[in-house]
A and B are shown apart, each in its own frame.
Chain A
Amino acid sequence: MTSNILEARNVTKTFGGLVAVNDVTLTVEKGRIVSVIGPNGAGKTTFFNILTGIYKPDKGTVIFDGTSIAGNRPDIIAALGMRRTFQNIRLFDNMTVLENVLVGMHTHLHAPFWQIVTRAAGVRREEARARQKARELLAYVGLDEKRDDLAKNLPYGDQRRLEIARALAGQPKLILLDEPTAGMNPHETDAATELIRRLRDELGLTVVLIEHDMRLVMAISERITVLDYGTKIAEGDAAAIRSNPRVIEAYLGKGAAGAAA
């Protein structure tokens, strides 16, 4: 038994002639905050899409919590306890904030069709409990006041938080955050950083995030993986990554010191 919640080994994905993800291996220990960074187009989001089942990898294995999931359908992977947020926020725009969270609970609601139609007592109880739980989650991310607003009417930062609340509603073991602070102002970013830290400290979640904000990445990640052109070029803690020449090169180009100045 390892304490790894996620083991992705030698994952490769090509689109036509383009190798988007090339032989990437990533293992994540339970209860860690891990970041995946890299320049634009490095294959980070593609890698997330493979983990969550949106793409099938051409090669490689993904083991999540002891189950092999590579190539499984995304809804099955989500039901196993891996949830995510999206880089370009994908909420259910015309549903309320509360309903968005309730949709996130889908895999934990089991009322069968005929019981819903007859509105059996069990269904009503389950529904009431779900609403209670959803409100607790909204309170946790600070959105309970806005539970009846339509998701599309929320300010940007709130939409990001709602996406996290929706992911939490699935009671995940692992949560993947795709650029959770993209487009936020420094104040909002600080709040988001705090929230991510609480997810791990208070809820015991494992967090993997893609992020461009280096301040955030360096502040909260225990391990960092760097991708460039689909290939893993470095891995280690914040200090090691900061001083890794290949990483500097990937971000700033060859002969960076001179050119960047």
Chain B
Amino acid sequence: MARVASLQNIRMTPTAQSARLWEQLRTYLGRGSGAYAFFGLYAAICTWQLFTNPRTSLRTDIFFVLFLLLVFMVYRSATPLWFRGGLTAVLLVVVMPIFGTLNPFYIDVATQAGIFVALALGLNVVVGFAGLLDLGYVAFFAVGAYLWAILSTPQITQINPAWSPVPPIMFYPFVVLGLVIGAVFGILLGLPVLRLRGDYLAIVTLGFGEVIRVLANNLDRPINITNGSQGIREIERPPLILTNFIRETLGWNLSDSQLYQQFFYFVVLLIVIFTVVVVSRLKNSRIGRAWEAIREDETAAVAQGIPRVRMKLMAFAVGASFAGAMGVVFASKQLFINPPTFDLLRSINILAMVILGGMGSIPGSILGAVIVTLLDLQILPRMATVLRDAQRAGVPIPAAFDPTQYQRLLFGILLVLMMIFRPQGILPDERRSEELHAGDEPPSEEEAPPAARAAAESS
């Protein structure tokens, strides 16, 4: 039945021809033997290219992006679970780490992307599911990061000379503690402000984010808690595990810093998997439906017996908890944090990921986070070199223009364009229909025109 609906939709769209071709291609490559061959071949070529040419270059950049795209396509494909799961696991657990030993840059990009995927998924709970525009989300990330940074370093003795830093092994319980503290801060912020209307809430959360940053910047007096604008250095990392196994049994001679890269890659991967699982289960539960109902129509939601404030608090707490936990990991991985790490631009950055991908959509947030991270770490620097070369060749480009320094411009344009032309994002939230159990059939491509445009045209 859903198929019929989607066919009708296609008939009515102006670009019917190309849409149908695309649909056929998708269907053919998305399942059955066609899919196995396609994904298998794609994976083999990508892996071979990455392993034989690991040097950082435009070519490797392209294959790395193709590799990430592959992972995403496999994850989204309609192939049987064993195939999807198996191939994704091989790509993320075997290929990526081995490639990481050949070139440390790319595994770092992947780790960063993972951190932002978790943050975007957390913010998506607040903004996408519950419809609460939180412009100070990075504050919770900061709280987690400072929690570990202060307690794991001699900074703690500044607060009270009798206290001593926690041992590095405490990293693991602190990730969980970050989760809890994040949630607590989410509730503390939420309690006073959740009764506010949407746009006021946005400004107040923005203010809250600024307050946390200003506090981090100034709480070096009267008691030195955060070390002010100097930031905190030499943050502890947990002790390495499996060192002997890797160096002696496997015979890979990796340095400590390489091992740490691998370690954080896997920690982040685990947290991302955990986040995806938790968020998708919540989404398809009474809680997720209550959030969406509040987003759609608060009065009607409350008339169904949904406790508004409690549900909003829960959304704030869940979203903030992921940020808190990732904060602990981030501080430990970066070894150094200071207040500017957690400025408003970072919050906007994460918001841009959610909006780009599609508010309320889990795959959208993942895709958005990966795209924005790649833009930040790979594409803008690459553009910068291209522009510098062009400038040297005599193309009139302002000398001051360095794309890596103009993230605001990029994200600003991105936000405006997305709102005007595609407010639902690249991968809008797809309605799960009753008949379609995971993997049976592709979800129907129901694409109502953006409400915004329709309303604008009619006025």
Contact = CB atoms under 8 A, between A and B. Distances in A.
Complex: A in contact with B (CB within 8 Å): yes
Interface of A: 52, 54, 73-76, 78-79, 83-84, 86, 90-96, 98-99, 102-107, 109, 111, 113, 116-117, 119, 123, 127, 130-131, 135, 147-148, 150, 152-153, 166, 169-170
A117 B278 contact: yes
Interface in B1-57: 1-2
A200 B448 CA distance: 37
A138 B377 CA distance: 51
11 contacts: A76-B305, A78-B303, A78-B305, A94-B292, A103-B289, A103-B292, A103-B293, A106-B305, A111-B286, A150-B448, A169-B304
Contact of A75 (B282, B302, B444): B302
Contacts of A94: 292, 296
Given A75-B305, A106-B289, A148-B434, A117 B282 contact: yes
Interface residues of B, number: 34
B285 A104 contact: no
A152 B278 CA distance: 29
Contact of A123 (B277, B285, B314): B285
Nearest to B317: A113
Majority secondary structure of chain B interface residues (helix, strand, loop or mixed) = helix
Contact of A99 (B289, B299, B307): B289
B276 interface: no
A42 B290 CA distance: 33
Contact of A95 (B2, B289, B307): B289
A83 B278 contact: no
A107 B305 contact: yes
Interface in B306-356: 306-308, 314
Contacts of B300: 86, 90-92
Interface string B198-222: 0000000000000000000000000
A231 B37 CA distance: 76
Residue among B281, B285, B306 with the most chain A CB within 10 A? Answer: B285
A116 to B, nearest CB: 4
Given A86-B300, A95-B296, A119-B281, A170 B448 contact: no
B290 A106 contact: yes
A106 B289 CA distance: 9
B305 A170 contact: yes
B431 interface: yes
A107 B301 CA distance: 11
Contacts of B282: 116-117
Contact of A127 (B285, B290, B299, B308): B285
Given A95-B289, A148-B431, A116 B281 contact: yes
A94 B296 CA distance: 7
Given A74-B302, A78-B305, A98 B434 contact: yes
B303 A74 contact: yes
Q: Kindly list the 10 A-B residue pairs having the minimum CB-CB distance in the complex, ordered from nearest.
A: A78-B305, A107-B305, A148-B433, A90-B300, A92-B296, A109-B286, A79-B305, A116-B285, A103-B293, A74-B302
Contacts of B292: 92, 94-95, 99, 103
Nearest to B433: A148
Given A95-B296, A131-B434, A147-B434, A52 B286 contact: no
A105 to B, nearest CB: 8
Contacts of B448: 150, 152-153
B431 A96 contact: yes
Contacts of A83: 303-304
B306 A148 contact: no
B304 A78 contact: yes
B297 interface: yes
B389 interface: no
Given A96-B433, A117-B278, A148-B435, A170 B286 contact: no
A138 to B, nearest CB: 10
A66 B286 CA distance: 29
Contacts of A105: 286
Given A54-B299, A92-B292, A111-B285, A106 B304 contact: yes
A148 B287 contact: no
Given A92-B296, A95-B292, A117-B281, A103 B301 contact: yes
A49 to B, nearest CB: 9
B344 to A, nearest CB: 29
